[in-house]
Structure 1
Amino acid sequence: MVVMSIAGVDPSAGAGVFADLKTFQAHGVYGCGVVTALTAQNPHKVFSLSPVDGDYIAEQIDAVLDAYNITYIKTGMLYSPEIIKLVSKKITEYDLKAVVDPVMVATSGGDLTKSDLADALNKYLLPKSILTTPNIEEAEKLTDLKINTQEDAIKATEKIPCNSLITGGHLDGINTMRINGEITIEKQELIESDNLHGTGCNLSSAIVANLENGNDLVNSCLKSFDYVYKAIENGNYGTLIAKL
Structure 2
Amino acid sequence: MVVMSIAGVDPSAGAGVFADLKTFQAHGVYGCGVVTALTAQNPYKVFSVNPIDASYVEEQIDAVLEAYDVTYIKTGMLYSPEIIKLIGEKITEYDLKAVVDPVMVATSGGDLTKSDLADALNRHLLPKSILTTPNIEEAEKLTDFKIKSKKDAIKATEKIPCNSLITGGHLDGINTMNIDGEITIEKQELLKSDNLHGTGCNLSSAIVSNLEKGFDIKTSCLNSFDYVYESIKNGNYGTLIAKL
TM-score by length of 1: 0.99
The alignment status of 1:9 with 2:9, answered yes or no, reads yes
1:124 aligned onto 2:137: no
Q: Distance in 2 between matches of 1:85 and 1:10?
A: 23
Q: Secondary structure at the match of 1:90?
A: helix
2:195 maps to 1:189: no
Q: Does 1:94 align with 2:94?
A: yes
Task: Give the number of equivalent residue pairs.
Answer: 244
Alignment correspondent of 2:77:
77
Question: Hey, what does 1:43 align to over in structure 2?
Answer: 43
Residues in 1 aligned to 2:155 and 2:115: alpha-carbon distance in whole angstroms: 24
Write the deviation string for residues 79-113 of structure 1: whole angstroms up to 9, x where unpaired: 00000001110010000000000000000000000
Q: Give the SS at the match of 1:192.
A: coil
Q: Distance in 2 between matches of 1:34 and 1:238?
A: 18
Shift in Å, 1:241: 3.1
Q: What's the secondary structure of 1:78's corresponding residue?
A: coil
Identity of aligned residues (%): 86
- Residue 118 of structure 1 aligns with an amino acid whose one-letter code is A
Off by >2 Å, runs of 4+ in structure 1: 241-244
Alignment of 1:168-207 (within 5 A): 168-207=168-207
Structure 1 distance, partners of 2:242, 2:114, is 38
1:185/1:6 CA distance change after superposition, 3 Å: same
For 1:104 and 1:236, locate their aligned partners in 2 and report how far apart those are by CA, in whole Å. 24
Checking the alignment, whether the CA contact within 8 Å between 2:78 and 2:84 is kept in structure 1 is yes
- For 1:238 and 1:213, locate their aligned partners in 2 and report how far apart those are by CA, in whole Å: 17
What does residue 143 of structure 2 align with?
143
Q: Hey, what does 1:21 align to over in structure 2?
A: 21
Aligned to 1:220: 220
* Corresponding residue SS for 1:232: helix
Deviation at 1:26?
0.3
Structure 2 unaligned spans of 5+: none
* C-alpha distance 119-235 of structure 1, shift in aligned 2 (>3 A): same
Q: Indicate conservation of the 8 Å contact 2:25/2:238, yes or no.
A: no
Q: CA offset at residue 42 of structure 1?
A: 0.2
RMSD over equivalenced CA pairs, Å = 0.9
User: 1:242: how far off?
Assistant: 7.8
Query: Unaligned 5+ residue runs, structure 1?
Result: none
Q: CA deviation at 1:236?
A: 1.7
* Paired residues of 2:136 and 2:171 also in contact (CA < 8 A): yes
Whole-Å separation in 2 of the counterparts to 1:176 and 1:119: 22
TM-score (structure 2 length as normaliser): 0.99
